[in-house]
A and B are shown apart, each in its own frame.
Chain A
Amino acid sequence: MSIEVRDLRFSYGKVPALAGVTFRLGEGAVGLLGPNGAGKSTLLRILLGFLNPQGGEGTVLGYDIRREQPAIRRSVGYMPEDDCFVAGMDAVTFTSYFGELSGMPSQEAMKRAHEVLFYVGLEESRYRLLDTYSAGMKQRLKMAQALVHDPKLLFLDEPTSNLDPQGRTDMLELIRDIASHKDIQVLISSHILADIETLCSSVLILNRGAVAAQGRIDDLRATNLSLYELRVKGGEEAFRGELEAVGCRVDETEDRLIKVYMPADMSRMEIFRAASRAGAQVRYFIKSRTSLEDLFAELVGVD
């Protein structure tokens, strides 16, 4: 297991940020999802050792999150969400500097800085001052500094934010290559569900400081909910009310397609019974393949 935490608790004053979080993350790329205030950033802060948990315990790559923070930081690469660089430096100096701070010998750090800058696509501009870098280049630079000391685990916080479509595609390709071919485990925190769906086979979804779901995306799709799409004629409002009364969540798209999220243990016949009670004709009915967005919406209760 790369990360394992049990009953992790943390509060900012009286506001609980993590209320007894327990999970185990395995190999490959894992998506960390959750609405704002769900506790994602607090979890990352605790895993990196920026914050000490007020309760619970955990390990990252086998190192205790309370007592072995330096060892964790030595083995983990962190790509923060915000733009961050050191003024007056070029990319080579910057990257090798952080390699050295990770414990690499000076010359090795410099050699390695060139290698990772080539890898992330900054080879042409590696001697340019960072102050002149575009948003996309800064994003690649953050990736380079996270990779320079050859981490075993990579924390990526919103890796595709502020990127144009081409930059986003390139960054996703880079992360996919790292996660699938370079033997580096990746934990990606992102609001862009499509990115997570593209890159990750597993997700950890947090909501209000607790784990809302965890596991392989395919398994979660299959077990957590049944999504049906239908069109009805007449009695739409009453039909909607009947479905909600039996525990379904109902959304309607702009083209009047009704999406019904059913609890896993409920029979689809309930939909027809509800339609019958509401006097609505079901004109179209299909079991939909749930996207990560659907799963997220169902578990977290937001669109």
Chain B
Amino acid sequence: MATVRQKGYYHWDGRLAESRFRWWPITRTGIKLAFRKKGFRFLFAASFLPAVGFLTAIYVSERLEDFKFMMRGSDRLIKIDPGFFNTYLTNSSVLFLVIMVIVFGCAGLIADDLKHNSLQIYFARPLRKKDYLLGKTAVVAFFVLVLTFIPGLLLFLFKLVFAGSFRFFLDYPWLVPEIALDSIVLAVFFACYTLLLSASSKNSRYVMILIFTVYLFSYILYVILHSIFRTPYTALVSVLADIQQVSAFIFGQKPPHAVPVFWSFLVLAAVCGLAAFVLKKKVRGVEVIR
């Protein structure tokens, strides 16, 4: 029979574990906290609407005879190939929803810890800086992968189901790894982008605005610069354009802008490098002890 104890302080008779996944509680808690926010669940659910649209397109592509009256004789309107999946993953509406999910779910990941001085109690634990950052990175990566890799994979599987054969898989055996690679690139980039901006301020609302406006205004800046200089290299200033360039390369498609993909990759890598530099400077247990 268990001992009935009075309320008070008792020593814990367990043993503290030395886990290799010390970052996992940070990730799990970060995801839980995001879902506790008002309206976030609705936004998150709504973010799958583009995937539903693309799923419909796959279904229609397999039932072209049934839908011919709608297609007006153009059978090539819906062509399911790597380009279709590239379009899904770099679609401006999909990426816009990814940004919105990040804005409302992840903006405060580091900003709130800076604001509420909690870094010092994190690092008073047997937690390394890389555990902390990995935990926070994984929160953003979770949301990005759930909105890119999971629907991408499901679209692929539904294509096989609707086709009723493995022909599509045999035609494009590298498509699933390409979807995975592109989703990982997106997840890593958006994680670095989000944590960079989140670490730049203690005000999470300011960070929310920053995440949204940097993404949006980089595209607007590209349009303005392009109209002035008429050179495709202006696309490098746009986050969206750089993502589209790199994704097109991964899926073996023609890049949408006449700029070597290497430059776009370099821009995205530079953002990640800047994030690593800023995070190294800002995320310290010691700075908040006065």
Chain A interface (Cβ within 8 Å of chain B)? Answer: 41, 44-45, 48, 50-51, 69-71, 73-74, 76-78, 80-89, 93, 97-98, 100-106, 108, 112, 115-116, 118-119, 123, 142, 145, 147, 149-150, 157, 177-178, 182-183
Contacts and interface: CB of A to CB of B under 8 A. Distances in A.
A186 to B, nearest CB: 13
A86 B112 contact: yes
B117 interface: yes
A182 B113 CA distance: 31
Nearest to A80: B120
A100 B25 contact: yes
B93 interface: no
Contacts of B14: 104-105, 108
Given A41-B289, A106-B25, A119-B9, 4 more contacts: A73-B127, A80-B124, A88-B36, A104-B16
Nearest to A138: B116
B220 interface: no
B25 A97 contact: yes
B9 to A, nearest CB: 5
25 contacts: A41-B290, A48-B123, A48-B124, A70-B18, A73-B124, A73-B126, A78-B124, A80-B117, A82-B288, A84-B116, A87-B115, A87-B116, A87-B204, A88-B36, A97-B25, A98-B125, A101-B26, A102-B16, A103-B19, A103-B22, A105-B17, A112-B12, A115-B10, A145-B121, A150-B11
A178 B25 CA distance: 28
Secondary structure of the B side of the interface?
Answer: loop
B17 A103 contact: yes
Contacts of A88: 33, 36-37, 112
Contacts of A104: 12, 14, 16-17
Chain B residues touching A, range? 35 or more
B253 interface: no
Most buried by B among A83, A98, A142: A98
B118 interface: yes
B117 A84 contact: yes
B168 interface: no
Interface of B: 7-12, 14, 16-19, 22, 25-26, 29, 33, 36-37, 108, 112-113, 115-118, 120-128, 204, 284-286, 288-290
Contacts of A81: 289-290
Given A87-B115, A88-B36, A80 B121 contact: yes
A87 B125 CA distance: 19
A134 to B, nearest CB: 15
A150 B9 CA distance: 9
Nearest to B26: A101
Contacts of B288: 80, 82, 84
Contacts of A112: 12
B121 A98 contact: yes
Contacts of B26: 101
Identify the 5 closest CB pairs spanning chains A and B, nearest first.
A103-B16, A78-B124, A70-B126, A150-B12, A84-B117
B127 A101 contact: yes
Given A45-B289, A150-B12, A50 B123 contact: yes
